[in-house]
Chains A and B, each alone.
Chain A
Amino acid sequence: MGLRIELDESKCSGLGLCEAEAPELFEVRDDGSLAVLDATPSDEHREACEAAIASCPTEALRLVES
């Protein structure tokens, strides 16, 4: 069992609210696109990751258990 972050680039508008919640997992690049720094985070990041997903105004992020 592991966690996987899925980013829908067609929805993401690069506001960066996810980065504010979980800077260890997300960073908006200079061109406004989003970098997922760790797409398979360990379980200790789950709470921050869920906060990041809830903060996204375009619902571009999903966390799946794989």
Chain B
Amino acid sequence: MDHLVVVGASLAGIRAVEAARRAGHEGAVTLVGAERHLPYDRPPLSKAFLDDTGCEPADPRFRTEEHLHDELGVALRLGVPATSLDTGAKLIGLDDGAELGYDALVVATGGAARTLPGSEGLSGVHALRTWDDALAVRAALDAGARTVVVGAGFIGSEVASAARKRGLSATVVEALPVPLVRSVGEDMGRACADLHRDHGTDLRCGETVDRLESAGGAVTGVRLGSGEVLPADLVVVGIGVAPCTGWLEGSGVTLHERDRGVVADATLRAADGVYAAGDVVHFPNHLFDGEVMRLEHWTTAAEQGALAAKNALDPGAARELGTVPYFWSDWYDSRIQFVGRPSADEIRVVSAEQGDDRFLALYRRGDRLVGTITIDRPTQIMKYKRLIAQRASWAEALEFAGVAGEVSRA
């Protein structure tokens, strides 16, 4: 293998180039990024980055340009989105008209935040996906914006938390009757709703957005389906992410029929010489009996980036990925942590049975523990992650949680 190209200057991208060098790859490495920025870390952007600390937020970039260039020998093509891929000729088309050949390719183009129709070009309306998004949201909060968040998911909820921490008004508009009900279940969704309400965030569930109100090109409010208008100087739209794969259409890489994410095998291989990593990829996870999943989690992107590069450089020795998904989210002064998979035959809310207000729920599939969610139980969550990785039985999980032998609630 001579030339490794990584498209996507992301966490998965940086882990890919680092893993390639650690694995002894001595050929050329090129890292292509759509944004002008060096690879940077996203989790802080909706957390500490938005806090009013009186000083500049920490620089989210992983590595300096000198480090990438001199230590890792990586050629950078930043601010140049990939526009096409020819897997036969092994050529990547770039937005500036250049063509880039490769011997091995890692696709790590991630996703783009979904937008609200009619929000294009309106100032005061932002997603929170990129560093530039975060700078804009932070500046609006610095200016004391009345904040409306569309979507009570994790990103939107972190923005609401940041606004309330600063003493600003925050309203969250959510179409579902209970926030996050599809991703974590009804009881946990209610616990999340309580966190918002306990901290003075106005949570509107079962409510749709009719349109954005504006004056002079700036947003002034959000008109709800009910007709009510919520005044706003800042609207943050957190309604999910769509994989960035337009450049792969017609390339021979299979794209998922639902969301156009890259379809890969368990070794993250998507086509001959092409491997994929991060938010962009659907892969069968052997720790969950081959269940195909696309994860938008920091830890998975880090693992997949490294594995995709190693497998791309040595396909004969390719390893399969088995991983326990993990995410965390910081709301107000609480930390939500989830390990495993949320789709389950049963969700047992152990904390309710034990009369403990720090939420703990276990997710059962068949006879196996497949997921655990906690609020403010930092010393416990990773012990459940290990149980899931070890394919612990439901009985073992209940025993560990201290509810062994008790009859489950219906």
Q: Which residues of A come within 8 Å of B, CB atoms?
A: 14-17, 19-20, 23, 27-32, 54-55, 57
Give Cα A5 to B292, complex, Å. 37
Contact of B337 among A15, A29, A30 (CB under 8 A): A15
Other A-B pairs, 7, CB within 8 Å; known A29-B378, A29-B379: A15-B378, A16-B381, A16-B382, A20-B382, A32-B335, A55-B302, A57-B302
Contacting pair A54 B335 (CB below 8 A):
no
Known contacts A32-B335, A57-B41; decide if A17 and B382 are in contact (CB<8 Å): yes
Contact of A23 among B43, B298, B381, B386 (CB under 8 A): B386
Determine if B129 is an interface residue (Cβ-Cβ < 8 Å): no
Q: Which residues of B come within 8 Å of A, CB atoms?
A: 41, 43, 298-299, 302, 306, 324, 326, 328, 335, 337, 378-379, 381-383, 385-386, 389
Give Cα A58 to B385, complex, Å. 19
Q: Which residues of B contact A15 (CB under 8 A)?
A: 328, 337, 378
Contact of A16 among B43, B378, B389 (CB under 8 A): B378
Contacting pair A17 B326 (CB below 8 A):
yes
Per CB-CB distance, the 8 closest pairs between chain A and chain B, nearest first, are: A16-B382, A20-B382, A19-B382, A32-B378, A20-B385, A28-B378, A30-B379, A28-B379
Give Cα A16 to B192, complex, Å. 22
Q: Which residues of B contact A54 (CB under 8 A)?
A: 302, 306
Contact of A55 among B299, B337, B378 (CB under 8 A): B299
6 CB < 8 A contacts A-B: A20-B385, A20-B386, A28-B379, A30-B379, A32-B335, A57-B43
Known contacts A23-B386, A57-B41, A57-B43; decide if A17 and B378 are in contact (CB<8 Å): no
In this complex, the member of A14, A17, A27, A32 whose beta carbon has the largest number of chain B beta carbons within 10 angstroms is A17
Give Cα A30 to B380, complex, Å. 8
Q: Which residues of A contact B298 (CB under 8 A)?
A: 57
Q: Which residues of B contact A16 (CB under 8 A)?
A: 337, 378-379, 381-382
Give Cα A30 to B358, complex, Å. 12
In this complex, the member of B306, B386, B389 whose beta carbon has the largest number of chain A beta carbons within 10 angstroms is B386
In this complex, the member of A16, A19, A30, A32 whose beta carbon has the largest number of chain B beta carbons within 10 angstroms is A16
Give Cα A57 to B327, complex, Å. 11
Known contacts A15-B337, A54-B302, A57-B299; decide if A28 and B382 are in contact (CB<8 Å): yes
In this complex, the member of B43, B379, B383 whose beta carbon has the largest number of chain A beta carbons within 10 angstroms is B379
Give Cα A29 to B337, complex, Å. 15
Report the minimal beta-carbon distance from B322 to chain A, rounded to whole angstroms: 14
Give Cα A4 to B180, complex, Å. 42
Q: Which residues of A contact B389 (CB under 8 A)?
A: 20
Give Cα A57 to B298, complex, Å. 8
Contacting pair A30 B378 (CB below 8 A):
yes
Report the minimal beta-carbon distance from A62 to chain B, rounded to whole angstroms: 15
Report the minimal beta-carbon distance from B23 to chain A, rounded to whole angstroms: 13
Q: Which residues of B contact A14 (CB under 8 A)?
A: 378
Give Cα A48 to B306, complex, Å. 16
Q: Which residues of B contact A23 (CB under 8 A)?
A: 382-383, 386
Q: Which residues of A contact B383 (CB under 8 A)?
A: 19, 23
Q: Which residues of A contact B43 (CB under 8 A)?
A: 57
Q: Which residues of A contact B385 (CB under 8 A)?
A: 20
Give Cα A17 to B325, complex, Å. 11
Give Cα A20 to B299, complex, Å. 12
In this complex, the member of A20, A23, A28, A54 whose beta carbon has the largest number of chain B beta carbons within 10 angstroms is A20
Give Cα A31 to B379, complex, Å. 8
Report the minimal beta-carbon distance from B325 to chain A, rounded to whole angstroms: 12
Name the residue of chain B whose CB is nearest to the CB of A18.
B382
Give Cα A30 to B43, complex, Å. 23
Name the residue of chain B whose CB is nearest to the CB of A16.
B382
Q: Which residues of A contact B41 (CB under 8 A)?
A: 57
Give Cα A16 to B326, complex, Å. 11
Q: Which residues of B contact A30 (CB under 8 A)?
A: 378-379
Q: Which residues of A contact B337 (CB under 8 A)?
A: 15-16
